[in-house]
Amino acid sequence: MNEQINWDDILADIEEQQAVLLLGHGFLPGAHEALHRSFSEKLGGKLLHFYQRDGLFLFADNDAKTSAQKEAARFYKNALPDEALLKKIAELPFRLMVSANPDRSLCDAFARYRLPLQFDYYSSLPKEQEAALARPKLDNPLLFNLCGSYEDRKSLILDYDDLFNLLKNLLADLQVPLSEVRRPLHDASTFIFVGFHFERWYTQLFLRYLNQNDHQFSNNSRNYALKTSFADPETQQFFLQQFNVKYIGADLTFFEELHRRFSERNPGQLRKVVETLSPTATTVVQLVERADFAAAIATLKIFNAQFDEPDQTLLTITEGRYNHYLKDKSDGTVRQEDLDIALNKVRLILLELAKKLK
């Protein structure tokens, strides 16, 4: 921790609807790397480069980019973030959530828990149908996808041209709904960032967008609570001073702590989710959350007859992937980042299979 967290201020801002939750690319860990592998297989030599630092690609021509858009849309349609995290986000009474990802997993979570949620997304091109939005409030919150939606593949941010159009329109306040998104951002006192890469230059421009209504770039009226890590102390100190960052956490423990403190202080203000998982499915989810993947797999195998044939095959493949992960981890020949991605895939598939148990 870099300085003491003022929990009272943060919790009070959530209570008073003065807090905004912002979800970065780290909310879907390993997504860009997985997309790179998929594009390499599908596009071959027409994928010219992957800018790993920025999570962007360079395509040989428009046909290659169109193919990439279709592949990315399929990928994000099946994106599966942490179910426990989704539930905690659904419970906390944010009226506005802004995501830098084009998936709809949070929308799906709200639907599973039978909670209302409005949804809209940014696109530099005209949409087939504009969303009819109301100003977000506690009982009718809004999720705004800043980097498009997989349902509109041309809205996806895949290369520098897409990013340029996004930033040009964003900084000019174009294609961003006024009363539904811009005004709540302007009125907010606390921003809670989860999964952002703050060393990326376009993330810094996004912070500039949040500060654009200030005469000076100090934004002393606001609090920032961040989940991120920096490669060097100088970069970290820059953010602390330039963007008035109050706290930087290295992992999701900050958000876990935030949820715990809010639920203890204001249990009546948590959104009432409706659990739709069966007792057996809940057991599997709990095993996965405790990282007891072997036990979760064993439990799923006991109820294998409840799955259709494709899911039975998927369970068998997933068990093989987990055993392969354990071997790679034991051998010490695979990078930790790749091990984490492999384990995350296993975890997400197990959670999806659990949902199908009766």
pLDDT at 168: 86
Tell me the whole-structure pTM to 2 decimals.
0.74
Q: Is 350 buried (19+), middle (13-18) or exposed (0-12) by CB count in 10 A?
A: buried
pLDDT at 216: 42
Q: What are phi and psi of 314, to 5 degrees?
A: -60, -40
Residues of the chain above pLDDT 90, percent: 42
In this predicted model, which residue has the larger pLDDT, 272 or 171?
A: 272
In this predicted model, which residue has the larger pLDDT, 214 or 223?
A: 223
Average pLDDT of the residues of the chain: 85
pLDDT class of 51 with cuts at 50, 70, 90: very high
| Secondary structure (3-state) at 294 | helix
pLDDT class of 230 with cuts at 50, 70, 90: low
Stretch 234-242: mean pLDDT, rounded?
72
Which of 22-36, 214-228, 275-289 has the largest mean confidence? 22-36
Residues of the chain above pLDDT 70, percent: 89
Stretch 114-120: mean pLDDT, rounded?
90
Stretch 170-185: mean pLDDT, rounded?
77
pLDDT class of 1 with cuts at 50, 70, 90: very low
pLDDT at 227: 60
Contact of 242 with 203, CB cutoff 8 Å: no
Structure tokens at 230: 């920096």
Q: Is 86 buried (19+), middle (13-18) or exposed (0-12) by CB count in 10 A?
A: buried
Helices marked H in the chain: 7-15, 31-43, 62-77, 83-91, 105-112, 160-171, 183-187, 201-210, 233-242, 253-265, 279-289, 293-302, 309-331, 336-354
- Tell me the C-alpha distance between 138 and 156, whole Å: 29
pLDDT at 229: 59
- Tell me the C-alpha distance between 293 and 322, whole Å: 8
Which of 184-188, 205-209, 294-298, 354-358 has the largest mean confidence? 294-298
Stretch 67-85: mean pLDDT, rounded?
88
CA 176-181-187 angle, 5° bins: 130
- Tell me the C-alpha distance between 262 and 258, whole Å: 6
In this predicted model, which residue has the larger pLDDT, 291 or 230?
A: 291
pLDDT at 214: 46
pLDDT at 47: 96
- Tell me the C-alpha distance between 215 and 251, whole Å: 33
Return the closest-CA partner of residue 277 out of 143, 113, 116, 145: 113
pLDDT class of 62 with cuts at 50, 70, 90: very high
- In angstroms, the Cα distances linking 94 to 137, 179, 315 are 8, 16, 36
pLDDT at 249: 62
- Tell me the C-alpha distance between 339 and 326, whole Å: 9
Q: Is the pLDDT of residue 247 over 70?
A: no
Stretch 201-215: mean pLDDT, rounded?
67
Look at 46-60, 104-118, 230-244 and tell me which has the smallest mean pLDDT. Answer: 230-244
pLDDT digits (tens, 9 = 90+) for 129-158: 788 788 899 989 999 999 999 999 999 999
